[in-house]
Amino acid sequence: MKKAIVYFLSIIVFVSCKNTEETIENASNAIVAPKAISYTVIKIYPHDTSSFTQGLFFHNNKMYEGTGMEKESKLLIVDLNTGKAEKKIPLAGSVFGEGITLFNNKIYQLTYQNHKVYVYDANTFKKEKEFEWPFEGWGITHNDSSLIISTGGSNLYFVNPATFKIERTVGVSDNNGYIDSINELEYVNGSIYANKYLTDLILKINPQTGIIEGKVDLTNLIKESGASYDPRSIDAGYVLNGIAYNKEKKSFYITGKRWPFIAEVKFN
């Protein structure tokens, strides 16, 4: 009887220790909540309020902008200091433009539901080719080898620039699960920064795991800009959208759809 009791107790101890080990292991594998990233406003620049901003990048001291809406979509080179377009290419009236990026001297411009991707020579702005894209187009950026595309859900697609074939898919998540509405993208120093559509958040995403490692809350940016009005008081769709990065100044440039300003900020 005593042997049976000892055996029974040893089983309980073994199971308890195993459960404790599993609990510790699960805790060590748990996703950490994203870090809150603060920011400092450096300078405010003018922005054309007719531009329904969909994509933004900074190159050679110029701002490149892709805009949306049917009959209004364009690809632009903008003088940051004046907000005026120096060069523009209007898209066909039936096309709704989306995100843009520069890779190997080619500008790639997505379209929303037209399933087209336009490729331009960055020097001449001449359209060289078109690719088919099976999903909606939202945001686009790149790392050293791949284009990275969002489609409004929680996935990021890593795409071959020459063939536009999907090579890898990563789901974006935080400690609470997958996060959708991933929109405009900018790849900076090994991380992907993304607007979350219809929010004032910019997410810092690990491109290998898809885990959101940080969040920037820009709720007060319009007030801090000194703008005389909130664009969302005119239309709820005039939301935060547009992230560009100047690697020389280590500054981000942030704007929104039909916003009256572009803010130069540093993330702390």
- pLDDT tens, the chain, 268 aa long: 444 444 444 444 444 444 544 443 444 468 899 999 999 999 999 999 999 999 999 999 899 999 999 999 999 999 999 999 999 999 999 999 999 999 999 999 999 999 999 999 999 999 999 999 999 999 999 999 999 999 999 999 999 999 999 999 999 999 999 999 999 999 999 999 999 999 999 999 999 999 999 999 999 999 999 999 999 999 999 999 999 999 999 999 999 999 999 999 999 9
Superfamily of domain 34-267: YVTN repeat-like/Quinoprotein amine dehydrogenase (2.130.10.10)
**Domain coordinates of the chain in residue numbers?**
1-30, 34-267
The alpha-carbon radius of gyration of the chain (Å, integer) is 23
Query: What is the spatial distance between Cα 68 and Cα 74, in angstroms, rounded to a whole number?
Result: 7
Residue 242, H or E segment: strand 240-246
Cβ-contact 119, 133 below 8 angstroms: no
This prediction has a pTM of 0.89
Query: What is the spatial distance between Cα 1 and Cα 236, in angstroms, rounded to a whole number?
Result: 75
Summarised one tens digit per residue, pLDDT across range 124-141 is 999 999 999 999 999 999
* Other Cβ atoms closer than 10 A to 257: 21
Whole-number pLDDT of residue 53: 98
Amino acid found at 160: N
Among 141, 258, 238, residue whose Cα is nearest residue 191: 141
Q: What is the residue-averaged pLDDT of the chain? A: 91
Torsion of CA 105, 107, 78, 49, to 10 degrees: -170
